[in-house]
Amino acid sequence: MAVKIIITGHHSDETIRRFNDLPDTDIIFTEHPEELTDEELSGTEIYVGDLTPDLQSRMPDLRFVQLFSAGAGSSLWLPEHITLANAYGAYGDSIAEHMLTVTLMAMKRMPDYLDMQKEQGWQLFKGIQRFEGSRIMSVGTGAIGSAYLRKADALGAVCYGVRRTVHEKPDYMEKLITVSVMDELLPEMDVVALSLPGTDESKGMFDEQRLRLMKKGAILVNVGRGNAVVTDDLIKVMKEGHLKAACLDVMDPEPLPKDHPLWTAPNVYITPHISGGYRAGVNYERVIDTVIGNIKLVLEGQQPVHTVDRSLGY
């Protein structure tokens, strides 16, 4: 008997063909799952994409949910009998490239030069930094943080990793430490990059006190969860000129409302949660490979990879 699967989102013809090649399946593709009828939802065993409690309640046979995202915070409410998997690992290199881009942008004061170009000015800015030899800390050393540090190490930076528990230190890190001792090293870092999952432990981790522990002129990069940084505290610190730059691909609240003071805080550089590049097609194929690979495992009666631990939140 065919396994019924719902695939959400907009997909290329090639991706649709790849899904349809899955054996013994009955697949419904939809960009608007909330518009599906009870008859269409009935019998669904596998669901791909974000899911609401209302939709889940209408699929009593649901046993596996696969996310397109690396984060799983919005789906932790799912009942334990439903296996939940994310696309962990598919985003690491793409987001790491974004992190390198904004790090170098801030170090070289490129936004200031671009603003000067608009005024047709011609002057030399001070405070330009070298990437080589800089001290870079990644708070979070999963697929994203690790990819960033590997690339930073290749360019000559001295790299430090922070994680919940310490395991064997990889060669591209100078030190691997836990959050409990992170504050001892923060004042020495030129760049502090956050790629944290959305957990109670990470929420508000970088408040005013910790932001001030960072050395004057350091750069903050956040690509994990916006609420890891206390927004009002960051605005205050940036207005006082304590940090050289804050490069945010995620923020709290999100989407950031028009006229929010974070938009105009000095030396805050905002991108609209695009570092992974999935929706722009930059990272699309890697995500689809992960999703299809997991569905194949489930169809074969095996455990999918990157299942989400509800107690940890990722």
**Non-local CB neighbours of 1 within 8 Å, separated by 6+ positions:** 24
Residue ranges in 108-202 assigned as alpha helix (H):
110-118, 143-154, 182-185
Is residue 204 within 8 Å of 227, Cβ to Cβ? Answer: yes
Active site amino acids: 225, 254, 273
**Non-local CB neighbours of 40 within 8 Å, separated by 6+ positions:** 28
Residue 220: closest CA among 270, 180, 163, 165: 270
Distance of CA 212 to the CA centre of its chain: 24
Q: Report the DSSP pairing between strands 25-30 and 44-48.
A: unpaired
What gap in Å lies between CA 115 and CA 117, rounded to an integer? 5
Q: Which amino acid is at 198?
A: G
Q: What are phi and psi of 162, to 5 degrees?
A: -125, 130
